[in-house]
Structure 1
């Protein structure tokens, strides 16, 4: 097939990744069979990821990638024709053409990109349990909370909604235990404490509305090239469980929302999952089964998933078996464990009689890689040693000013930047409490002053019918009314101005009772 008239080496159906004894191509029609990019720190994984992302974008395929160190942000700016880049391009027979790509920055914390939000209901109890590292008992109670919210018609959108429904089931633990199984207040308290930990990590900014519309990840620009969506993850990585759970939620949402596509000529979206080992560390079997299911089946939705990590052994075998396109950068083998890892990495490739794969993995220089991409009917090609081609866009991070300029021109500017607080579980349950409390307040005989009158009436006998009052009681009644109107009434009025809501009323009543007691004892 003839190459496009771009000078960058791609063809109509393939992405040029690099060159060794022969060119290495990633076939677009097989790119949704997923992939793996591995290698030790500093060996060139990020550049390989950028080269692949640029190729997909040029082919009209939107990309989503997590940017752990900020290095991938340079893809938004024009590449610089530095000497080593020009030299590498010339060695591969390429005419280096600086380029840049339409980029949208996202940030769970809303600081260096558009906010990314999901509702609590969308996340679901399984992923929330993973995020909070709950045991089986606590996970069961969380499932009950979701079930009760569903039956009560209570929307769970943000963290205060989740707290409200947990408080609700704690208050009704006895009734719920009969219907759903044991619900203890102690277990609810455990979940509440874990929610506090999540909030301290910033998760409260992630849950809420407007929730992310996944179609905004799947845009193309005016030239028909795919947008590159970058998740700013440097701060997010300080909460690794939140990071891993968020990305798994994204995959699950894509799987559930996208229609079946079979094997399209190119993917609808390519998803790069950096620091992928965080997804699998200490993950319960139920979660691992879900990951395997999503990875295995999302291919038919036209989505390609590429895990980026240091070593193939970071990925469970069942998931690893689904990853057909492989890029392996150098690994070090200084310890027995390192040597075992190198051997495991070598075994994931289809052997090449010309290469000692295990030996070559330890000898690769920066920018070199062993690659094996799917070909023909979906079988992996023999492993080849290549030099990865230079990216067309800038290598390295952008400045804060450049980032702000990109965000100002973003196609989703203004859509997610302001939080919306819709009526949901928290507000509805608050209204129920207020409605229940209203009749009791109404029967108090005119609020605070009515209650004062009742108290004084009981003490002095002023509730006795008028015709049966003694002279002493009449005098006491008149004195009490004067004190109440002139002194206590002024205190309550001042309290009403300075303290709002039920708390102010309660404190006011307590102070009034104390004041009256002091006056009456004199």
Structure 2
């Protein structure tokens, strides 16, 4: 239910941009107590602590997407770039100014601000290239661990995939797209006997199983994701001329049909950020904030090695100045090891219709710092749309007491933009000329194909004549060369001689002399060739 409006406290800011100048993002206003004891409190997210990560949860239709938009707008105003996945297309409205509708004006008055429409710099991305600039990564950048998760490989198949990457690396063969990986797997299968002695058994059946999984991956659209130009992390960290951080929005509506591809892409992106960004400790504000919507897709049926990777990245990427915010329906969707790293929390309403729902309510209530004025577990089920339980880090990183909060209205449009508006934004994009056209440079596929063609070439023909070069010279002098065009050797007048041409038939003596000359020429040529070779080899030995 919605709490009644309270008088604006003197400390409240009427300008929604002002809190960002104070190193804070204004989230809304909380109310506690009743009657004369009723008090109001403004809720902020401190930018200095925003890289300690966060969690936004709640049932469908309770306002998670609006809260995500409010946070994204606040970060952008503060000059912090944002990356977010847009599952339903609603977040795209952040590119256009909001309209002062009655419900927005009413909520602005309740939380003590003046409603001011605003828009934000946006770059649209799409792994399929339909609703944004194509997002690409190379096979090598993705690596065998994520690819194995992506294809659902067992331990044996993952081992063969690791061998394939190792061989490609040692032979200088670039793995950029799916056809490179296919060619490399075929090469490993053809050389299984040789490679098996060094790396372990490589069964053709295992390679075949991986190839089939690659086909499934291609049918899901992964062939458009793997390739070049690969995404440059710097293009996600742009700030426009007005000082607003750019909001990068990944169109993920179609991507939901390939949840493994979606989850592995986002985990790859986090890993790239972790590997490429320098250590900055605790900056005054994050260098980038990453919103992971539908977070359960990352953790569903994930093997332990992958969960360990997620936990490691989330735990360590804070020192790179990156904040990660998971958005999901149920806090139980996130493993406890990861949940423990999320300091800033917004909990929208949950519905306890099943035993699992009741467990989720208790778990959500227990994760907050208790407030003696609130029965947290009860309030979670009573929250109205646009209301949330909020606990943000404050001071030295200690969570504030949980408060029942009315979330402020967004300044940009609530809801999706039109196709024409999206096209206009993309036409002005600063990165369109970089990513819109694919590049296919020479890599493993082309080099292995070249090797195959070279092996298929016939060997060079040896020189005719037993005496080599000298034999050829003697043949020309003594008439022992190749057959004449008419088909007969020498100058005979046999059946092969052209009709009408006159020639002299050799006598018996001439035939014998000619045969002796041929034998002598061959023997002399062979002996001279051997002598020359012995001389050359002798000089080499010296």
**Contact map agreement 1:3 1:12 (CA 8 A) in 2:** no
- Between Structure 1 and Structure 2, how many residues are aligned? 454
1:8 Cα shift?
6.4
Does 2:54 align with 1:32?
no
Structure 2 match to 1:277: 296
Distance in 2, matches of 1:467 and 1:404, equals: 75
Structure 1 match to 2:415: 396
Structure 2 match to 1:113: 132
Does 2:277 align with 1:267?
no
Structure 1 match to 2:94: 75
Helix, strand or coil at the partner of 2:180: helix
1:338 Cα shift?
1.0
Structure 2 match to 1:18: 28
Structure 2 match to 1:326: 345
Helix, strand or coil at the partner of 1:352: coil
1:442 Cα shift?
7.5
Helix, strand or coil at the partner of 1:439: coil
Unaligned runs of 5+ in 2: 1-10, 32-40, 463-482, 496-542
**Contact map agreement 2:12 2:112 (CA 8 A) in 1:** no
**Contact map agreement 1:15 1:52 (CA 8 A) in 2:** yes
**Contact map agreement 2:349 2:384 (CA 8 A) in 1:** yes
Distance 1:54 1:441, change over 3 A: farther
Structure having the higher helix fraction is 1
Helix, strand or coil at the partner of 2:432: coil
- The TM-score, its normalising length taken from structure 1, stands at 0.84
Distance in 2, matches of 1:418 and 1:467, equals: 61
1:439 Cα shift?
2.6
**Contact map agreement 2:26 2:44 (CA 8 A) in 1:** yes
Helix, strand or coil at the partner of 1:186: helix
**Contact map agreement 2:87 2:293 (CA 8 A) in 1:** yes
Which range moved further: 32-41 or 343-352? 343-352
Unaligned runs of 5+ in 1: 444-462, 476-522
Query: Aligned to 1:372, which of 379, 391, 395?
Result: 391
**Contact map agreement 2:17 2:77 (CA 8 A) in 1:** no
Task: Map 1:286-325; keep pairs closer than 5 Å.
Answer: 286-325=305-344
Structure 2 match to 1:514: none
Distance in 2, matches of 1:442 and 1:408, equals: 60
1:173 Cα shift?
0.6
**Contact map agreement 2:15 2:114 (CA 8 A) in 1:** no
Query: Aligned to 1:409, which of 421, 428, 442?
Result: 428
Helix, strand or coil at the partner of 1:304: strand
**Which consecutive segments of 4 or more residues in structure 1 shift more than 6 A?**
466-469
1:467 Cα shift?
8.7
Structure 2 match to 1:351: 370
Structure 1 match to 2:439: 420
Query: Aligned to 1:142, which of 153, 161, 167?
Result: 161
Does 2:222 align with 1:194?
no
Aligned CA-pair RMSD: 2.2
Distance in 2, matches of 1:271 and 1:195, equals: 29
Structure 1 match to 2:466: none
- The TM-score, its normalising length taken from structure 2, stands at 0.81
Distance in 2, matches of 1:467 and 1:418, equals: 61
**Contact map agreement 1:261 1:301 (CA 8 A) in 2:** yes
Distance in 2, matches of 1:442 and 1:293, equals: 62
Does 2:406 align with 1:387?
yes
Distance in 1, matches of 2:388 and 2:166, equals: 50
1:341 Cα shift?
1.1
Helix, strand or coil at the partner of 1:85: helix
